[in-house]
Amino acid sequence: MYYRVHTADIAYATKQPRGIFAAIGKLVDGKVLNEEETKEYWKNREYFEVVLPVPPYYEQGNPDGAITWFKNNEKGNDIYSQLTFYRAMAKKYGLKLYKSECSEIPGEVIYEDEFQIAVKNMRDDVKTTINECMD
């Protein structure tokens, strides 16, 4: 199984719902977070950029409009459990998060590591369940 946490907002680059990392980054860019929260954001971002591989296509600006999905395994679930700051900021600032889940690869895989897959060309025939995140 694969899952991603996102908002209902559609991202310009991917034409898909904006993922949790990008959604909180957008709050920072919009100067919504206070100074202390912004410092904590950068601390968290630095940490995740070390422990969670950044897919190389981001260096080119994500030309294929790929999106990442966590793998439902020990590594993927551990990273998700560490996203407490991101979930707290979403909750504090009224940003509704959703969790999409599917049991098949949801598109054409262009990147994979032990935590996640990145796909482009989302498949219409893959059954995806979407629920509001309550944590």
Question: What's the chain's average pLDDT?
Answer: 93
Count helices and strands (H / E) in the chain.
4, 7
* pTM of the predicted protein model: 0.90
First to last CA, the chain: 20
Domains held by the chain: number: 1
What is the pLDDT, as a whole number, of residue 12? 85
CA-to-CA dists, residue 1 to 31, 52, 107, angstroms: 35, 19, 13
pLDDT at residue 80 in the model:
94
Q: What residue numbers bound the domain in which 64 lies?
A: 2-132
Q: What is the DSSP letter of 86?
A: H
